[in-house]
Structure 1
Amino acid sequence: MDIRYLRHEAIDKQRWDAALAQCAHGNIYATSLYLNHMSPGWDALVLGDYEALFPLPWRSKWGTRYICQPFLTAQLGLFELNPVPGRLPVFLQSIPEHFRLIDLPLNEGNLTDAVALPLRSNYRLLLDRPYGEVQKSYRENIRRNIRKAFERGCRAGQGTPLSEIIALARSHAHDEQGLTAFEALHAALELKGQAKRYGIRGHDGQLLASAVFLMDAHTAYYILVGNHPNGRTLGASHLLIDSFIRDHAGSGLTLDFEGSDMRNLAFFYSSFGATLHPYPQLHVNRLPWWIRWIKN
């Protein structure tokens, strides 16, 4: 199997993106534009004439190179034009030994019995029906909270300034370098018509809930979510997601909620009618025994 390890400068980004667009489980995170911003200098494993792709986002600390999940990058792993059973283990064995630690989310196309990997949870909602039909799949608590938000004077709007969204998200997104990289990525995607910003404001104009939705040809990704404490009892986040669904129902897009492994969030996303799509997590520790001992 002709799997090549390519350093960043040797990757043909145009061929990479063209191939990724044809992969059944291709996503926005594995595009060269996304990786260039969120993991500058990323390397890759490539099969043949870009028939299968495996991005390697890496960093270096104390002289040790390691592969890790970039900020706001939910799923990577192996992407194949024509999936072949048993190919994933070969790719995993082909990751160069100089990467001493690997902690990377793969994608749902990488589910296989050939490798025993822990699973993580994601929820996705297909927006292929009119809004009225999609809304029928909501649990009653979602409909109740949407009504409450309207009754309390909350209003949805598009075009919320990114600076306000980032400020609201900082309560749980503490990676300042990652946030700066995301600002540049957002600007690039917005120029391509692939970024939308939603916000929910209270009757006094305060931003109560917000999110960025990144888009590709098939999927909308719910990213950089922020919730003000004052909005949690008003149904603001319920109204935000409902507003996006209302605007895009019938489009054929899939709304990807990006998780979650947290039980309460998983229930929240499934309450909109979203279904579970598990994906594997890769963890490999090649650190010398004495470093492992120090870390423990």
Structure 2
Amino acid sequence: MAVHYFAYEDIDRRKWDRCVAEASNGSVYVYASYLDHMSAHWDGLVLGDYEAVMPLTWNRKWGITYLYQPYLSAEGGVFQQEPVTSETLRAFLEAIPGKFRFWEFSLNAENLLPDTGFPLYPRANFLLPLRASYAELSAAYNKNLRRNLKKAEDAGLVYTKDTTLPTVLALAREQLNGHTGLKPIHYARFGQLYEKLSEDRMAVTRGITDERGKLLASGVFLFSHAKAYYLIGGNHPDGRDNGASHLLLDQFIREYAGSGLTFDFEGSDIPSLAQFYRSFGSYEQPYAAIKLNRLPAPLRWLKR
């Protein structure tokens, strides 16, 4: 199986994006333009004439070149039109150049395979098909979610499609500061990316306001491969006790009910968030991740 490594400048972007678009497990996060904006650097592995691809998102620190998962990007790994096999995944992982001495990145649900010879482990994601009507979907909500939606109704909270991206990002930065590694440059890059995605009808913002118009909850939602991805959420402290974040996702589900899309909550290994996503009747779909340390012995302990 001929898997070849291509440096960034040698990648045929048109063929790369065509492979991603046609892949059975394709994802918005591995289009060339997304990788351009959200990765410090990226190269790629390619099977044949772009029959399958795998991004290698990398950076360098202390003279060490390493693979990592970019911020605001949930998936990586091997993508192709046919189902990925253990043999294919193993061939791609074996083709990663030795200059990358440390790996810690996500793959995808189709890459959670046995017998690869590499230390894959599962992470949790949550999905909700939106084929049914809102009445049918909301019938699967749990009691706690229903209570929070009643609080939001009693508080007079409003779902709005007019929330601007800068407002969403400002709320996210305010509330997530210190809880993620996101820096101003990451928000700036995503802002540039969002403009392109929005022009291509692949991104929207939504918000929840109180009766005075104060933004209490907001999110960025991306669209690709028959999925709606919940990417950036921001929740003001004033909205925590009146169900603002619950109403945001509920109303987004109402808006796209019957569309045939699948709502991708983007998962979480944090139990409280996992339970929140389950409360909407979503199901868990594990996906693969990998961590591999080939650093020299004196440095290996730093990245255990």
Q: TM-score, normalised by structure 2?
A: 0.94
Shift of 1:73: 0.4
CA distance in 2, matches of 1:263, 1:37: 30
The residue that corresponds to 1:21 in the other structure is 21
Give the 3-state SS of the residue equivalent to 2:171 in structure 1. Answer: helix
Per-residue deviation, residues 111-130 of structure 1 (Å, max 9, x unmatched): 11113422100001000011
Shift of 1:81: 2.1
CA distance in 1, matches of 2:29, 2:228: 12
1:252-263 mapped onto 2 (5 Å cutoff): 252-263=260-271
CA distance in 2, matches of 1:142, 1:279: 26
AA at the equivalent of 2:291: H
Give the 3-state SS of the residue equivalent to 2:22 in structure 1. Answer: coil
Are positions 1:198 and 2:206 aligned together?
Answer: yes
1:228-247 mapped onto 2 (5 Å cutoff): 228-247=236-255
AA at the equivalent of 2:97: P
CA distance in 2, matches of 1:133, 1:295: 47
The residue that corresponds to 1:148 in the other structure is 151
Shift of 1:40: 4.9
CA distance in 1, matches of 2:12, 2:81: 17
Alignment check: 8 A CA contact 1:71 1:175 kept: no
Instruction: Please identify, of 201-210 and 181-190, the stretch whose mean Cα deviation from structure 2 is larger.
Output: 201-210
CA distance in 2, matches of 1:109, 1:31: 17
Are positions 1:31 and 2:31 aligned together?
Answer: yes
Give the 3-state SS of the residue equivalent to 1:281 in structure 2. Answer: strand
1:210 is aligned, of 211, 218, 221, to 218
Shift of 1:294: 5.6
Per-residue deviation, residues 8-65 of structure 1 (Å, max 9, x unmatched): 1111111111111121111100111111111154100000011111100111112211
Alignment check: 8 A CA contact 2:28 2:225 kept: no
Shift of 1:292: 2.0
Shift of 1:264: 0.9
CA distance in 1, matches of 2:154, 2:214: 16
Shift of 1:175: 2.0
CA distance in 2, matches of 1:98, 1:266: 36
Shift of 1:145: 1.1
* Greater than 4 Å deviation, 4+ residue runs: 293-296
Q: Identity of aligned pairs, percent? A: 44
- Aligned residues, how many? 296
CA distance in 2, matches of 1:286, 1:94: 15
Per-residue deviation, residues 187-212 of structure 1 (Å, max 9, x unmatched): 11011111110100112221110000
Per-residue deviation, residues 120-148 of structure 1 (Å, max 9, x unmatched): 00001000011111111111221221121
AA at the equivalent of 1:133: E
AA at the equivalent of 2:120: L
Are positions 1:100 and 2:101 aligned together?
Answer: yes
Instruction: Specify whether residues 295 and 259 from structure 1 end up closer, same or farther in structure 2 by C-alpha distance, changes over 3 A only.
Output: closer
Instruction: Specify whether residues 257 and 217 from structure 1 end up closer, same or farther in structure 2 by C-alpha distance, changes over 3 A only.
Output: same
2:227 is aligned, of 205, 219, 225, to 219
Alignment check: 8 A CA contact 1:159 1:196 kept: no
AA at the equivalent of 1:261: D
Give the 3-state SS of the residue equivalent to 1:57 in structure 2. Answer: strand
Alignment check: 8 A CA contact 2:293 2:303 kept: no
Give the 3-state SS of the residue equivalent to 2:113 in structure 1. Answer: coil
Give the 3-state SS of the residue equivalent to 2:187 in structure 1. Answer: helix
The residue that corresponds to 2:113 in the other structure is 112
Shift of 1:153: 1.6
